[in-house]
Amino acid sequence: DAMVIQNPRYQVTQFGKPVTLSCSQTLNHNVMYWYQQKSSQAPKLLFHYYDKDFNNEADTPDNFQSRRPNTSFCFLDIRSPGLGDAAMYLCATSRGGLVDNYGYTFGSGTRLTVV
Amino acid sequence: GIQVEQSPPDLILQEGANSTLRCNFSDSVNNLQWFHQNPWGQLINLFYIPSGTKQNGRLSATTVATERYSLLYISSSQTTDSGVYFCAVLPGNNRLAFGKGNQVVVIP
């Protein structure tokens, strides 16, 4: 089945130690998104790639960066994780454009713990 | 930006009961989706429903785009229906906007 896959499901990292989360998709969607979700809150968009074009949200901290080396993969890099960065990180994809009959597809998420 | 309001915020159901969740949004949208987030955090797409009515098993959804609301119906609820239900809408800027969710607990 076509899907969005995130690895790992759980990640523990040390305060200040760089960490990378990965996302891959077999849907061949144009757009890939990274969301941060803290406890009892709605997901918050960090940034997205439309093909190779990177779109950062205005309030996303500089500590968060992303790479999309090809259509299938997208990475979230946290350069110096703080305790406040502990959260669920969700990757999503969509076809993009005005005509989209399928909407967004989310991966199963990576739960990040900072110790 | 667009406002998305979900009600009720919290709901406790006896297994077997029916319920309706509501999503109001403040502007016209190109897309509306209902998601279920299970206790493990996975967001599962239930419906892509910018307008009209759809059914999938015990779940159904209706969106009245002209009046800017959507309803999610859960019939004969089961304990596996527990979790948070999110309504999310897509205005013209390609950024999905989420409501705060409906926390549903189904007790046996």
DSSP characters for chain B? Answer: ---EEEE-SEEEEETT--EEEEEEESS--SEEEEEEE-TT--EEEEEE-SSEEEEETTEEEEEEGGGTEEEEEE-S--GGG-EEEEEEEE-TTS--EE---EEEEEE-
pLDDT value at position A95?
A: 87
Q: How far is B90 from chain A (nearest CA, A)?
A: 9
Q: Point out the residues of chain A with pLDDT beneath 50.
A: none
User: What percent of chain B is modeled with pLDDT above 70?
Assistant: 98
Residue B16 has pLDDT above 60, yes or no: yes
pLDDT value at position B49?
A: 94
B27-53: average pLDDT: 92
Interface test with A, best of B5, B42, B46, B93 (most A CBs within 10 A): B42
**Contact at 8 Å (CB) between B34 and B62?**
no
pLDDT value at position A99?
A: 57
- What value does the CA radius of gyration of chain B take, rounded to a whole number of Å? 13
